[in-house]
Structure 1
Amino acid sequence: MKLNHFTDYSLRVLIYLNKKDKNASSSLDELSGELDILRNHLIKVVQFLSKEELVITKRGKNGGIIISDKALNTGLGTLIHLLEQDDTPVINCHSKPCVFMPFSCQLKFFLDTAYQAFIDSMNQHRLSDIVFNNWESIFAGRQNV
C-alpha cells in the first residue's frame, strides 16, 4: 500500500502543529518553509484539515493555524483513512470491470482485510506517540535554505 501525497503532506502538517505550543499558531508560509512543501499544495491540505475540524484556522494579523483536539484524539489509522479520501483504497474491481469478478476472485477480500488490519494497527497510536530525537535540530538553519 502506498499513501498519496495529500495524506503525506497532511500528516506532516499535523505532526508539525502537534509539536508546537498549543497556543502558538503557524502560517502557511511557515509550514511551507519548514516542511519544504509548496504553499499551493498546503492551501488545499489546510482547507481540507479545517473542513474536517482537524485544524483551526484564523484569518488576519493574529491569525494562523493550530491543531484541534479532534486531531489529537483521533487514531492515526482513522486519520489516514480520512485523508486518503477513498473507501476502496487498495483495489476497486468495478472501476474497470475485472474479468475475474464473476468467478469469485477473493483478491479484493484479502486486500480489504489487510487494509483494515493496517488501519486497526495504526489506530493504536495517536499523533502524540510520534516522537523525535532532538526535534529542534530538524529545523535548525531551515530559514536559510
Structure 2
Amino acid sequence: MKLNHFTDYSLRVLIYLNKKDNAQSCSLDELSEKLHILRNHLIKVVQFLSQKGFVITKRGKNGGIIISDKARTTGLGDLIHLLEQDDSPIINCQSKSCVFMSYNCQLKSFLDIAYQAFIDSMNKHYLSDLVFNNWDIIFASQHTSN
C-alpha cells in the first residue's frame, strides 16, 4: 500500500503542529519552509484539516494554524483512512470493468481485510507516539545548510 501525497503532507503538518506549543500558532509560510512543501499544496491540506476539525485556523495579524484536540486523540489509522479520501483505497473492481468479477474473485476481499488490519494496527498509535530524539536538530540544520 502506498499513501498518496495529500496524506503524506497532511501527516507531516499534523506531526509538526503537534510538537509546537499550543500558544504559538504557525503560518503557512513556516510550514512550507520547515517541511519543504510548496505553499500551494499546503493551502489545500490545511483547508481540509480545518474542515475536518483537526486544525484550527485564524486569519489576520495574530492568526495562524494550531492543532486541535481532535487530531491528538484520533488514532493514526483513522487519520490515514480519512486523508486517503477513498472508501476503496486498495482496489476498485468497478472503476474499470474486471473480467474476474463474475468468476467469484476474492482478491478485493483479501485486500479489504488486509487494509482494515492496517488501519486497526495504526489506530493503536497517536501523534503523541511519534517521538523524535532530536526534534530541534531536525530544523536547526536547515539554517546552516542554506
Q: Quick one: distance in 2 between partners of 1:143 and 1:120?
A: 39
1:116 aligns with 2:108: no
Structure 2 residue aligned with 1:93: 93
| TM-score, structure 2 as length reference | 0.97
1:55 aligns with 2:66: no
Moved beyond 6 Å, runs of 4+: none
Q: Quick one: distance in 2 between partners of 1:82 and 1:23?
A: 27
Structure 2 residue aligned with 1:2: 2
Q: Quick one: distance in 1 between partners of 2:3 and 2:141?
A: 29
Q: Post-superposition shift, 1:131?
A: 0.3
Percent of pairs with identical residues: 77
**Gaps in structure 1 of 5+ consecutive residues:** none
Q: Quick one: distance in 1 between partners of 2:52 and 2:20?
A: 20
1:65 aligns with 2:65: yes
**Gaps in structure 2 of 5+ consecutive residues:** none
Q: Quick one: distance in 1 between partners of 2:46 and 2:107?
A: 35
Question: Which amino acid is 1:38 matched to?
Answer: L
Q: Post-superposition shift, 1:30?
A: 0.1
Q: Quick one: distance in 1 between partners of 2:141 and 2:28?
A: 19
Q: Quick one: distance in 2 between partners of 1:95 and 1:73?
A: 34
Structure 2 residue aligned with 1:36: 36
Structure 1 residue aligned with 2:133: 133
Question: Which amino acid is 2:100 matched to?
Answer: F
Structure 2 residue aligned with 1:107: 107
Q: Quick one: distance in 1 between partners of 2:3 and 2:18?
A: 21
Question: Which amino acid is 1:39 matched to?
Answer: R
Q: Quote the RMSD (CA, aligned, Å).
A: 0.8
